[in-house]
Amino acid sequence: MDEQPSTPSSKQEPRQTNPWVITTILLAAISFGLLGINAYMVISIFNGATIGGGGGTVAPPAGDVPAPSGPVAVSVDDDPALGSANAPVTVIEFSDLQCPFCRRHFTDTYSQIKKDYIDTGKIRYVFRDFPLSFHPQAQVSAEAAECADEQGKFWEFHDKIFTEQNKQGTGTVTFTVDDIKKWGAEISGMDAAKFNSCVDSGKYKQEVQSDFNAGSAAGVSGTPTFYICKGTSNCQELVGAQPYAAFQQVINQQLA
């Protein structure tokens, strides 16, 4: 999948991308003898990330992305949202619940956006799933979040799963389905038995896949990716764990 940025001023920040790019580069490098004794480490030329044996990724430097062909429209579907349905601006996040850069956005930026824009009625914030295949628990985590949403606990689960991973480090964190169930059960008001049964059923697999397909169609290739839209049209794209100031600039432009 190729990325299709939708704003000339967009900047590419740390994100994670699909692994076929890394595999292709590795095979080419081996063919030309470009890998030395450190061949166990794969250098992702695609986004500048270094992926080693520690299970995490190192943030690549920020850089400009190519100018888009024009504004895009991105559907919010029926996905979980915060803020007024009548807000003039909609922010759509395509995210992976096992992605360390998505977690960085949650830790460093999300709460300030919520305080300044969601809670004040200026934006509606929509979460859509984009589980990357090289995160083994990303798919089931997304399905579990849908199960939590059945009980009106989506955002509590969203916050919980990122918070629990933060306790274990800054890179990609390994966890199990049992961990997911444990974290869900710790959320106040959650019916744990109902939640666990829902997670085991796999009933939301297609719902998550539909989000992924929508993201791919919009040009998403890594996480997190954000579309900041007037309504759900004329969307500007921000890619990666952008600082708050980057969101502030684009949101204010869309509010003007």
> Where residue 176 sits, what CATH number does that domain have?
3.40.30.10
pLDDT given at position 75: 78
Residue 45 has pLDDT above 80, yes or no: no
Determine the structural domain holding residue 9 and report its residue range.
1-256
Structure tokens given for 218: 């919009």
pLDDT given at position 227: 95
Residue 25 has pLDDT above 70, yes or no: no
**What is the count of structural domains for the chain?**
1
* pLDDT-based confidence at residue 73 (cuts at 50, 70, 90): low
pTM of model > 0.85 = no
Residue 2 has pLDDT above 90, yes or no: no
Least confident of 50-54, 116-120, 165-169: 50-54
* Residues 77-97 pLDDT 10s: 889 999 999 999 999 999 999
* Residues 194-228 pLDDT 10s: 999 999 999 999 999 999 999 999 999 999 999 99
Neighbours of 142 (CB within 10 A): 26
* pLDDT-based confidence at residue 156 (cuts at 50, 70, 90): very high
